[in-house]
Amino acid sequence: MIRCQALRWGAPGQPLTPALDVYLPKGSLTAVIGANGSGKSSLLKVIAGLQRPLAGNVILNVPRKGALSFLPQQQHLDRQFPFSLQELVAAGFWGIKLSPELRRQHLNTVLEDWCLSGLEQRPLMALSGGELQRALLARLSLAQTPLVLLDEPHAALDELGQSLLWKHIHEWHAQGRTLVVVCHDLAAVRQHIPQTLLIKNTGCVLGSSTELIRQQPQTQVA
């Protein structure tokens, strides 16, 4: 599904790591961890095609152009944009042909799944951080793309929100979707994600989440 070949990324002339060669097969669930500034978010942007690599390439085996979903960090969203929560979530229908009735049914189901019912008409600026994050995740539920890239999806979520997040991640994984998750919650990574890509300036390592996290001092991957 995702093949990185001699991939290097970062600021021009300043690659963050040695060349990365890695393959993440279809249906895999992978965490990305590393110290602040190590290039975790940038790697997801390169995979998503939102940022050009410094060298090498990324090959995505997806059925069609745009067959991926990318959840950015919240600070990249303009909360002043005149959207309601319902309009934000419904953007997940982009490129999907459904009758108005089916769209309504799917939208209502997803809003209920993410505990957002009753907030449909609330503008983005009136949402709490957790409500906005759940709305962004609900949009991914509607999109149903085979490849999902999540950059710190647990950010701003309370206990209920985190429970819903991991429930849906496991459901998406069970559906055969390929997921890559940047996550700072190492306990959650150890519990929920089988394999991890550890990014370090000396090189990247792909392996068992339990083993890689056990080997690293907590301060190095916070």
Question: pLDDT tens across 63-104, in order?
Answer: 766 689 999 987 777 777 888 999 999 999 987 888 999 999
Q: Which two tokens stand for residue 2?
A: 């995702």
Residue type (1 letter), 83: F
Q: Which residue has the higher pLDDT, 206 or 155?
A: 206
Provide the pLDDT for residue 97: 85
Question: Is the pLDDT assigned to residue 153 strictly greater than 80?
Answer: yes
Provide the pLDDT for residue 134: 97
CA distance 173 to 178: 7
What percentage of residues in the chain have a pLDDT greater than 90?
Answer: 81
SS3 state of residue 211: helix
- All structural domains of the chain: 2-221 (3.40.50.300)
Question: Is the pLDDT assigned to residue 122 strictly greater than 60?
Answer: yes
Question: pLDDT tens across 8-63, in order?
Answer: 999 998 999 999 999 999 999 999 999 999 999 999 999 999 999 999 999 998 87
71 exposed, middle or buried (CB, 10 Å; 0-12, 13-18, 19+)? buried
Q: Which residue has the higher pLDDT, 63 or 217?
A: 63
